[in-house]
Amino acid sequence: MGGGRPRDTGVEERVVAVAREMLREGGYARFAVDQVADRAGVAKTTVYRRWPSRDHLVVAAVATFLDDVAIEETGDLRADLVRIAAAIAAGLGQPGIRLLVSELIAAGARQPDLAASVYQLWARRRAASLDLFAAAVGQGEQADDVDPGLILDQIIGAVYYRALITGDPVDDDYLKRLVSAALAGAGVSSGGLA
Amino acid sequence: MGGGRPRDTGVEERVVAVAREMLREGGYARFAVDQVADRAGVAKTTVYRRWPSRDHLVVAAVATFLDDVAIEETGDLRADLVRIAAAIAAGLGQPGIRLLVSELIAAGARQPDLAASVYQLWARRRAASLDLFAAAVGQGEQADDVDPGLILDQIIGAVYYRALITGDPVDDDYLKRLVSAALAGAGVSSGGLA
Amino acid sequence: MGGGRPRDTGVEERVVAVAREMLREGGYARFAVDQVADRAGVAKTTVYRRWPSRDHLVVAAVATFLDDVAIEETGDLRADLVRIAAAIAAGLGQPGIRLLVSELIAAGARQPDLAASVYQLWARRRAASLDLFAAAVGQGEQADDVDPGLILDQIIGAVYYRALITGDPVDDDYLKRLVSAALAGAGVSSGGLA
Amino acid sequence: MGGGRPRDTGVEERVVAVAREMLREGGYARFAVDQVADRAGVAKTTVYRRWPSRDHLVVAAVATFLDDVAIEETGDLRADLVRIAAAIAAGLGQPGIRLLVSELIAAGARQPDLAASVYQLWARRRAASLDLFAAAVGQGEQADDVDPGLILDQIIGAVYYRALITGDPVDDDYLKRLVSAALAGAGVSSGGLA
DNA sequence: TCATAACCGAGACGGTACGTCAGGTCTTTTA
DNA sequence: TAAAAGACCTGACGTACCGTCTCGGTTATGA
């Protein structure tokens, strides 16, 4: 029950940093654990000691990407929603990111124990979006029967759906109509809450 | 200009049939071109002559899956939409299918020349769903400013989004609320068109 | 008895010409029947109708190379032999030719029906060398117990042996000693026949 | 600088042993790296880690063949030489060996980095033969100006030449004449050194 | 202070599949 | 018929990554 050598805490950071780089450069396909380890100056064993599979490492690396995105709320719910949706659409417009997102989804589907982590990836962003509604309600408007989650699903779901699955374009005009329809569906009057 | 030996059209069928089987049995992960060729009694090179990569073959095989699904319209638009959404949700509820769908999306993102084929996979089902609206309009209801595509995006998009990305449950109650909201957002009155 | 399309007599020539070129360019390893046919503007089938295997075609092509080499006899047997040996050594000094010769030998060993053709390839050159002895005898010298074939074997055999098998150098000095030893062994006096 | 897992030295032995077997069974043509690995209970990648190509492995395997051959010297140089030459001729008389030797030579010509190994294959046997001369000289005979290498070249070279290249028979009578001529050419008297 | 235990770098290893290449045969249309 | 075109089968090649394992060496703790 002795102690043993303590883990080098620098390893996590270095590896994840390199992993992030490699994802940016070559995407998911050319992401090889061997190379990550090499570049990070770390043994492959050390990598596998922390992340039980390539997918786990990728998810961990992506988790650090998403921190960057900041959501600014202007108080104008409709506009804020459009802006958020546009940001997502813009991201998915880049082939690299589109692939990465797809692969993450697939990774979650492949390994059940990863699913939760992957879901959480998006959950954080979703939570930020949900705050918008709280703020809007705070500014005083009826919100009794409004389900913000449902509205978000309709909007963001549609964006992912078009970008990843149907391949249809997601332009600004579409987004405006989308947001309007979703808000209207929830009984949020055009002039009202927004 | 002369001719050359004509392609054995039986090959396509046999290979795709075997590919379909193998997808059902082992999913995407255990799908190996080598084995498909073997089982189909065909040389691997012959497979590669038609489908330039594993992904291409998988997409081709999946394309034949989807033909089976029939959409029955009952005349009750709301109920039909709920049923369609439920069917999709049920499919995505199965881990194998969820993975397969994810991998297909990823395959499209990996190889640009595959994207179109993958999009088309879903497009066919989408077209069938859109017919519902045409039928509903035929039964006489206002539909001047209704955009069926937008409504579908909100519904189906939300289902995919929850099933694949957020991991949130997609139960019947949710679907009813979802469909209602989407229809309401388009100005379709509760008692009206549906 | 019907007529049928007559054989295009130009085919042999064209194919062999192309084959020769390709051997010069890429050597035996990169010699592909497919490409030969393509370049000659001929169907692969047509090639195989005339030469039953790749090896056969190669041998046929090489046979046309060797015609070029001319042996000039000067009347000085010893010098002539040295010159011949040197020519062979020079040829085998080129990696491409060394490989080609090796592969021809191998081809002969692989396919018994080719062996004869391959042997004949070298036989022609050998015959020319043997003429030297006839000429020398004609110029009057004892030749009762001289076996020209044996002498040639000793000389040319040694050259091939060193060039192909032991990798030892075959320089001029060596050749002179070699020829002298071989002639001496046959009882040909230094000053005499030569 | 540390080390890493040490190579399993058993692998070399097992693989080479299997390789040798397979060469004996099916010759060069049916020698497949895949099968060697399988039979040796080793991953193909492990094989390729040590021998960068099929040819390399074959050469390594053959190298272990040749160790078996023992050269017995009886003190009678002439007879010993005849016996050695006869042994070589007998070997080359077997189609399988003839092909193997040809392919080895070709392999050396194909891949420059293999040439040295192939040359060495024969060099060992040659060295053993050269010992005969040392022994003969030890038994006291003039050998000042005798070049054993030259003599061997003439004898062994001629044998290979006839067996592989001209296809002429190499019988006992021929060998006796050959050895005599070569010795005579070196000034070794019939009754003398031999 | 010394054994023990966990960590680390290095790299061999088994395994699985990939996509490719070339040889040689077979089938059709056209001259 | 022969020729051109090209599909087809066969068999093997060498490569890429994955995740596991076995080393020697290092750094902490606890007896």
What is the pLDDT at residue C78? 93
- Nucleotide nearest D48, CA–C1', reads F14
Give me the residues of C, 27-66, that contact D with CB < 8 A.
28-29
The answer to whether residue B17 scores a pLDDT higher than 50 is: yes
Plot region of C2 (φ>0 → left; ψ -120 to 50 → alpha; else → beta): left
Residue B114: inside a domain: yes
**Token pair recorded at residue C69:** 């080499």
CA distance linking residue B11 with residue A129, whole number of Å: 51
Nearest CB neighbour to D105, from listed C155, C165, C181: C165
Q: How many CA atoms lie within 13 A of C113 on its CB side?
A: 6
Q: How many CB pairs under 8 A join A and B?
A: 140
Q: Which nucleotides of chain E are near protein (any atom < 7 Å from a CB)?
A: 3-31
Both A34 and A127 in a single domain?
A: no
Ordered DSSP codes for chain A: ----PPP-HHHHHHHHHHHHHHHHHHTTTT--HHHHHHHHT--HHHHHHHSSSHHHHHHHHHHHHGGG------S-HHHHHHHHHHHHHHHHHSHHHHHHHHHHHHHHHH-HHHHHHHHHHHHHHHHHHHHHHHHHHHTT---SS--HHHHHHHHHHHHHIIIIII-----HHHHHHHHHHHHHHTT--TTTT-
Q: Nearest-CA neighbor of B117 among A99, A92, A166, A98?
A: A166
pLDDT digits (tens, 9 = 90+) for D55-107: 999 999 999 987 656 677 788 899 999 999 999 999 999 999 999 999 999 99
| pLDDT value of position A67 | 62
What pLDDT, on the 0 to 100 scale, is given for residue B135? 83
Give the torsion sign (CA, C163, C167, C171, C173): negative
> In terms of CA atoms, which chain D residue is nearest residue C155?
D154
When divided into structural domains, chain C yields a total of: 2
Nearest to D166 among C126, C155, C180 (CB): C126
| B167 touches A at CB < 8 Å | yes
Looking at this protein, which amino acid is placed at residue D122?
W
In terms of domains, do D85 and D180 share one?
yes
Q: Do C84 and C172 share a domain, yes or no?
A: yes
Q: What is the distance between the alpha carbons of residues C130 and C121, in angstroms, rounded to a whole number?
A: 15
* Contact with chain C for residue D95, Cβ under 8 A: yes
User: B177 and B111 share a domain?
Assistant: yes
Query: Mind telling me how many Å the CA of B41 is from chain A's nearest CA?
Result: 30
Of the partner residues D123, D161, D186, the one whose CB lies closest to the CB of residue C157? D161
User: In terms of Cα–Cα distance, which of C89, C88, C91, C71 is closest to C80?
Assistant: C71
Whether residue B139 has pLDDT greater than 50:
yes
Per the domain annotation, does A4 fall within a domain?
no
Length of chain D: 194
Q: Is residue D119 part of a domain?
A: yes
The answer on A56 and A29 residing in a single domain is yes
What mean pLDDT, rounded, does chain D reach? 90
Q: Would you call D165 and C122 a contact, using CB atoms and an 8 Å cutoff?
A: yes
Give the pLDDT confidence of C160-174 residue by residue, as tens digits.
Answer: 999 999 999 999 999
| Same domain flag for C174 and C144 | yes
D144 belongs to a structural domain: yes
Question: Least CA distance to B124: which residue of chain A?
Answer: A166
Interface residues 33-92 of B with strand F (CB < 7 Å): 41-46, 49-50
Tell me which residue of A31, A84, D167 sits closest to B110, measured CA to CA.
A31
Are B102 and B175 in a shared domain? yes
Q: What is the pLDDT of residue D194?
A: 40
Q: Under a CB-based contact definition with an 8 Å cutoff, are residues A148 and A126 in contact?
A: no
Q: Which domain holds residue A158?
A: 70-185
| Domain's final residue, options D33, D49, D64 | D64
* D57 and D99 in a common domain: no
| A28-42, B76-90, C34-48, D140-154, range with the lowest pLDDT | D140-154
Predicted local distance difference test score (pLDDT) of residue D48: 98
- Is chain A in touch with chain B: ≥3 Cβ pairs within 8 A? yes
C35 contact to strand F (CB, 7 A limit): no
- What is the nearest CA distance from D6 to chain C, expressed in angstroms? 35
Residues A83 and A45 in one domain: no
Which chain D positions have a beta carbon within 8 Å of C180's beta carbon?
185
Cα separations in angstroms, C16 against C22, C106, D53, D73: 10, 20, 31, 51
Residue B193 lies in a domain: no
Of the ranges A95-104, B111-120, C6-15, C69-78, which one carries the lowest mean pLDDT score?
A: C69-78
pLDDT of residue C15 exceeding 90, the answer is yes
SS3 state at B89: helix
- Tell me which protein residue sits closest to nucleotide F5, measuring alpha carbon to C1': B4
What mean pLDDT is predicted for residues B117-130?
92
Listed as ranges, the nucleotides of chain F within 7 A of a protein C-beta are 1-31
Domain presence at residue A3: no
Q: What is the mean pLDDT of chain B?
A: 90
Residue B13 Cβ under 7 A from any strand F atom:
no
* CATH number, position D39: 1.10.10.60
Rounded to an integer, what distance in angstroms lies between the CA atom of residue C64 and that of residue B83? 78
Question: What span, in angstroms and rounded, lies between the C-alpha atoms of C72 and C129?
Answer: 10
Residue C121 in this model has a pLDDT that exceeds 80 = yes
Residues of chain A neighbouring B92 (CB-CB closer than 8 A): none
Touch between chain D and chain B: 3 or more Cβ pairs under 8 Å: no
Q: Which residue has the higher pLDDT, D180 or A145?
A: D180
Q: Has residue D4 been placed in a domain?
A: no
**N-to-C CA span, chain D:** 58
CATH number at residue C145: 1.10.357.10
**Do residues A102 and A22 share a domain?**
no
D105-135: per-residue pLDDT in tens? 999 999 999 999 999 999 988 998 998 888 8
Per-residue pLDDT of B147-192, as tens digits, reads: 999 999 999 999 999 999 999 999 999 999 999 999 999 887 554 4
Where a domain ends, among D20, D35, D64? D64
| Selected residue of A165, A174, A179, A180 to mutate for chain B interface (largest B Cβ count, 10 A) | A165
What's the pLDDT at C5? 66
Give yes or no for a contact between A66 and A124, defined as CB atoms under 8 angstroms apart: yes
Do B97 and B153 belong together in one domain?
yes
Asked if the Cβ–Cβ distance from A156 to B161 is below 8 Å, we say yes
Q: How many angstroms separate the CA of residue C162 from the nearest CA in chain D?
A: 8
* Residues of B with Cβ-Cβ distance to A29 under 8 angstroms: 110
- Grade residue B140 by pLDDT with cuts at 50, 70 and 90: low
CA A2 to C1' E3, whole Å = 10
Contact A161 B160 (CB under 8 A): yes
CB spacing of D106 vs C119 below 8 angstroms? no
Residue A45, CB, strand F, below 7 Å:
yes
Q: What's the pLDDT score for residue C194?
A: 40
Predicted confidence at residue D146, as pLDDT, reads 84
Residues in chain D within 8 Å Cβ distance of C147: 177, 181
The pLDDT of D148-167, averaged and rounded, is: 97
User: What tokens does C65 get?
Assistant: 């190379």
Among A69-73, B62-66, D48-52, the range scoring the smallest mean pLDDT is A69-73
Alpha-carbon Rg for chain A, nearest whole angstrom, is 20
Nearest-CA residue of chain B relative to A29?
B110
Residue D21: phi, psi to the nearest 5?
-55, -50
Which residues are CB-contacts of A59 (< 8 A; sequence separation ≥ 6)? A104, A107, A114, A117, A118, A121
| A26-35, C46-55, C129-138, D173-182: least confidently modelled range | C129-138
Which two three-digit tokens encode residue A179? 């947001």
Distance between CA A20 and CA A61 in Å, rounded? Answer: 5
Q: Rounded CA gap, D166 and C124, in Å?
A: 10
C60, C75: one domain: no
**CA dihedral sign of residues A49, A52, A54, A57:** negative
**Strand E contacted by B7 CB (< 7 A):** no
Residue C149's Cβ-side half-sphere holds a number of Cα atoms within 13 Å equal to: 12
D115 found inside a domain: yes
Of B32 and C96, more confident: B32
pLDDT of C189 over the 70 cut: no
Q: How far apart are CA C115 and CA C123, in angstroms?
A: 12
Residues of chain A with pLDDT under 50: 191-194
C92–D contact, CB cutoff 8 A: no
Q: Do A160 and B160 touch (CB under 8 A)?
A: yes
Q: Which among C106, C119, C160 has CB closest to D106? A: C106
- Separation between Cα atoms, residue B68 and residue A134, nearest integer Å: 45
Half-sphere exposure of B176 (CA within 13 A, CB side): 4
**Minimal CA separation from C43 to chain D, in Å:** 27
Q: Which two tokens stand for residue C131?
A: 């003429």
